[in-house]
Structure 1
Amino acid sequence: MSRRGRKASLPPADHRRPESLHPDGLVVRHANATGHVKEYDFSALPGEASLRHSLARLFAARCDGAWTRHATSKVKYTHVALFARFLSQQEHPPRDLDELTAALLKRWWQASKATNSGRSRFRTVTALLRDDARLQAGPVAEELARRIGQLPSSRQSFSDADFDQVKGTARQMFRAALLRIEDNARHLERWRGGEYAAGSLEWEVGEALDILAGTGTLPHTRGPSGQASLVGRYKRVLGGVRSEVTWQRLFLSRAEATALGVLLMAEYGWNLSVIDRAVTPRAVPDPGSDGHPTYRIPLEKHRRGAGRYYETENVTDSGAGSPGRLITQALQATRFARALAAELVPGTDYFLAWRTHRPDKITADRDRPPAAGPIRFGISADDAKGWGKDAGLGGSPFQRGRRTVLAVEQGERAQHSQDTHDRIYVLPDQRVQAAAVPVIAAGAASAVRRARAAVRLVAELSQTRDPVHAETATADCSDTIGSPVPAADGGCGASFLMCLACSNARVHADHHPRLAHLHQALDHLRSVLPTTAWARDWGDAHARLEDLKNKIGEGGWQHALARTTSTDREIVDHLLTGDLNP
């Protein structure tokens, strides 16, 4: 069954899937998901024949179902060819895979690990080699099991200004195309409704539009040398032969379709492969009492792996600026191209449809949807690259644009796991890192405040001195024997700064001037020391003094500070230099 529930056409009764490996053992045939075959010639690789046969056999096994796209097998073949070249350049090249050594594989890893492309080659080759029964034990097998991480991506998201430029350029181009198609569609509808007098200019334009809608082209004559020329009457009524005044009246051009693709990427985070094979969205049967259509969009996402290709998105067009408005506009702009494609090739139902300038040109990329007459579908990487250059962007906006949508704007994952989303898209992105700095700083400051709030004065406040208590540099001690930090001689081994954190300590009014001066001295130290150093050495003591200050009150604290003596200042100096530490 097709994705729309129609019965798929059956292959001929004598149809057989071609064998992946040619009888000579050196040519591999890869049939993609649509049945088109691409051949890879391993006889062109360097090395002994036995080695090339072994590599071809492993490669063919992967072509038998593991890889569904020619784009995949093409890249993998390039990786294998580079490995074969590497082996041939060794002093003693292996004649077959059973002569591979762990040292040789380590050398291949050293030559590959510096870049992500090199690591990708290494992963490809080791994955193939692990399938060989001769390499599944011993030091070579251990080397083939090496875990290969991904280097941080150098590709970054667009800045706000640059991404606004990308979207603005695409929106301007697509909107102009949409207005043009809508204007001509209304003219065609009036012509079909008989509103124009036969023979009038409006009637002749309507007739030309009707021919365009039904065939995608206009009548031409052939000159003596075989060149095609638009019939004169249509040239006259339409204003020339340029595509802008002929077939573009009802169809998007390649550049305009690419602009629509850019908008789909910016709105929904779709990549080129998703856009390429997206089928026409349909409004759900019950759009709701408000009359706003909700579109159900089936999507193919091949990177998720077999069995998880398909997913559905739902978006509602509730007016300008709503998520579904772009879908409504895209359906309007592509309706003539989609209708013509379905007429020429029944069952065709791709969403992004446009007319090519060169209907006679056949694409060599057999992974992409096949053409339907002059109608093409989706966007190729070359289309995206050309559009970006023409727009002054220097290249395709899709990879950087999609990174911007996923990592910066929406923060949603698509076609990958949360781990991939974070590791590949979010964490390496400089915009995300810059935006995270104030958030992290605020979180750290909050954590410090909470930690400081947890550091309280433990010593008890008393009104007067108890003569039986021992005096310390910061408080009086009610029990020098039962110290929580005993010294080797049986006394207390804690710093005097820790007295305020001890339940044995007693703080009375005579201590306040010295402690207020210590608090002031610690504030002065904070202004000259690195923040981390000050927090490590003095932060807790300062927090306990803050707690004491809050308990005494601002007025009492200032009064105590005014009563500071020279002895208090001298003792505080010794505390800060460490002279009074045990």
Structure 2
Amino acid sequence: MSGRGRKAVLPPPDFQATERIAADGLQVTVLNKEGFERAFDFAAIAVPQPMRCSLARAFAAQSMGWNSHASGEPYWRSIEVFALFLKAQGQPAEDLGDLNSATLRLWRNNHKDTPGGREALGKMRTLLKREPRLAQGLAAEELARPVPKKGKPSKQSYRPSECDQVLLVAERQFRAALLRIRENTALLARYRAGALAPDSRDWRVGTALEHVAATGELPGFPDKAGKVYTRAEGLLRERTVGRRRVGCS
């Protein structure tokens, strides 16, 4: 939009893209369908001056098909991303015609795996293919490669009926676990109070629970060879994980 948002005079039918570029070659003015102006300033793009001018010309040519300022936003963002990429290479090309296939391939590989990166690839591919000096050779072949499409998601969401089933199974498992915790807490309290008959199964379970509460580990017992192994695992299995696992089919 112009400085104060004034409405500009609509261009004539034979208006050319070059007339949208300021005298310094760095500012492109885009008119929306209501005739309001917006200026895109390429002087702020972090690339050498010749490349700024070339990008401005490509942007202006592309803008001929736009009827809103929003149409230019993704192209503008893509140019900024491309400029940052070139700057990170240390020795950016002086102009668009100096871009080689290796640089364009690296640009592609660095941005093909994210939605924002693919958008930048697509918009810059459109702009760079407007550059006559990139119409032939290895760089042209690199630009001719289509932008990778979004890959299929590795995980699929559950359907509503499947979600209901998963929630039902989870609720059952949680309820069973809560009951076991309560039962074990009550049994441990009876063990500590001396209310269990010595050498009974409940007493042995209480002994194991007391050991777990004190050490965080299952008690171990020596086998015939003198090696330590855990017998309490089988003793506590039914009281900790239940008799069987509930599956989700």
Q: TM-score, normalised by structure 1?
A: 0.24
1:54, 1:97 within 8 Å by CA — same for their partners in 2? Answer: yes
> Counterparts of 1:161-240 in structure 2 under 5 Å?
none
2:32, 2:69 within 8 Å by CA — same for their partners in 1? Answer: yes
> Counterparts of 1:316-465 in structure 2 under 5 Å?
430-431=157-158
> Counterparts of 1:414-563 in structure 2 under 5 Å?
430-431=157-158
Partner of 2:224: none
Which amino acid is the alignment partner of residue 40 of structure 2? Y
- Once the 2 structures are TM-superposed, how far is the Cα of residue 150 of structure 1 from its aligned partner? 2.4
Which amino acid is the alignment partner of residue 115 of structure 1? T
Do the aligned partners of residues 134 and 153 (structure 1) sit closer, same or farther apart at CA in structure 2, a change above 3 Å counting? same
Do the aligned partners of residues 15 and 79 (structure 1) sit closer, same or farther apart at CA in structure 2, a change above 3 Å counting? closer
CA distance in 1, matches of 2:109, 2:148: 14
Do the aligned partners of residues 429 and 83 (structure 1) sit closer, same or farther apart at CA in structure 2, a change above 3 Å counting? same
Q: Which is bigger in relative contact order (C-alpha 8 A, separation at least 6)?
A: 2
Partner of 1:144: 143
Higher share of residues assigned helix: 2
Q: Tell which structure's C-alpha radius of gyration is larger.
A: 1
The one-character-per-residue Cα deviations of 1:170-225 (angstroms, maximum 9, x if unpaired) are xxxxxxxxxxxxxxxxxxxxxxxxxxxxxxxxxxxxxxxxxxxxxxxxxxxxxxxx
> Alignment RMSD, CA only?
2.9
- Once the 2 structures are TM-superposed, how far is the Cα of residue 127 of structure 1 from its aligned partner? 0.9
Secondary structure at the aligned position of 2:130 is classed as: coil
Question: Does 1:112 find its partner at 2:111?
Answer: yes
Equivalent residue pairs, number: 151
Secondary structure at the aligned position of 2:117 is classed as: helix
CA distance in 2, matches of 1:433, 1:149: 31
Partner of 1:94: 93
Which amino acid is the alignment partner of residue 87 of structure 2? S
Percent identical among aligned pairs is 32
- Once the 2 structures are TM-superposed, how far is the Cα of residue 153 of structure 1 from its aligned partner? 7.5
Partner of 1:84: 83
**Structure 1: 5+ residue stretches without partners:** 1-10, 155-427, 436-582
- Once the 2 structures are TM-superposed, how far is the Cα of residue 48 of structure 1 from its aligned partner? 1.1
2:26, 2:41 within 8 Å by CA — same for their partners in 1? Answer: yes
- Once the 2 structures are TM-superposed, how far is the Cα of residue 98 of structure 1 from its aligned partner? 1.1
2:10, 2:35 within 8 Å by CA — same for their partners in 1? Answer: no
Do the aligned partners of residues 119 and 434 (structure 1) sit closer, same or farther apart at CA in structure 2, a change above 3 Å counting? farther
CA distance in 2, matches of 1:52, 1:146: 24
Secondary structure at the aligned position of 1:30 is classed as: strand
The one-character-per-residue Cα deviations of 1:502-530 (angstroms, maximum 9, x if unpaired) are xxxxxxxxxxxxxxxxxxxxxxxxxxxxx
1:20, 1:63 within 8 Å by CA — same for their partners in 2? Answer: no
Partner of 2:27: 27
Question: Does 1:16 find its partner at 2:15?
Answer: no
The one-character-per-residue Cα deviations of 1:269-321 (angstroms, maximum 9, x if unpaired) are xxxxxxxxxxxxxxxxxxxxxxxxxxxxxxxxxxxxxxxxxxxxxxxxxxxxx
CA distance in 2, matches of 1:34, 1:25: 25
Secondary structure at the aligned position of 2:20 is classed as: coil
Partner of 1:68: 67
- Once the 2 structures are TM-superposed, how far is the Cα of residue 15 of structure 1 from its aligned partner? 5.3
1:21, 1:29 within 8 Å by CA — same for their partners in 2? Answer: yes
CA distance in 1, matches of 2:29, 2:73: 11
Partner of 2:43: 43
Secondary structure at the aligned position of 1:117 is classed as: helix
- Once the 2 structures are TM-superposed, how far is the Cα of residue 90 of structure 1 from its aligned partner? 1.4
CA distance in 2, matches of 1:72, 1:15: 18
> Counterparts of 1:225-264 in structure 2 under 5 Å?
none
Do the aligned partners of residues 434 and 25 (structure 1) sit closer, same or farther apart at CA in structure 2, a change above 3 Å counting? farther
Partner of 2:52: 52
The one-character-per-residue Cα deviations of 1:242-295 (angstroms, maximum 9, x if unpaired) are xxxxxxxxxxxxxxxxxxxxxxxxxxxxxxxxxxxxxxxxxxxxxxxxxxxxxx
- Once the 2 structures are TM-superposed, how far is the Cα of residue 68 of structure 1 from its aligned partner? 2.2
CA distance in 1, matches of 2:78, 2:11: 29
The one-character-per-residue Cα deviations of 1:362-392 (angstroms, maximum 9, x if unpaired) are xxxxxxxxxxxxxxxxxxxxxxxxxxxxxxx
2:97, 2:131 within 8 Å by CA — same for their partners in 1? Answer: no
CA distance in 2, matches of 1:41, 1:142: 30
4+ long deviations beyond 3 Å:
14-19, 431-435
Do the aligned partners of residues 22 and 431 (structure 1) sit closer, same or farther apart at CA in structure 2, a change above 3 Å counting? farther
The one-character-per-residue Cα deviations of 1:142-188 (angstroms, maximum 9, x if unpaired) are 1001111322487xxxxxxxxxxxxxxxxxxxxxxxxxxxxxxxxxx
The one-character-per-residue Cα deviations of 1:35-83 (angstroms, maximum 9, x if unpaired) are 221110000011211010000000000111x222211201210111111
CA distance in 1, matches of 2:97, 2:161: 51
The one-character-per-residue Cα deviations of 1:406-436 (angstroms, maximum 9, x if unpaired) are xxxxxxxxxxxxxxxxxxxxxx96356988x
Do the aligned partners of residues 16 and 114 (structure 1) sit closer, same or farther apart at CA in structure 2, a change above 3 Å counting? closer
CA distance in 2, matches of 1:138, 1:53: 22
Q: TM-score, normalised by structure 2?
A: 0.54
Do the aligned partners of residues 97 and 429 (structure 1) sit closer, same or farther apart at CA in structure 2, a change above 3 Å counting? same
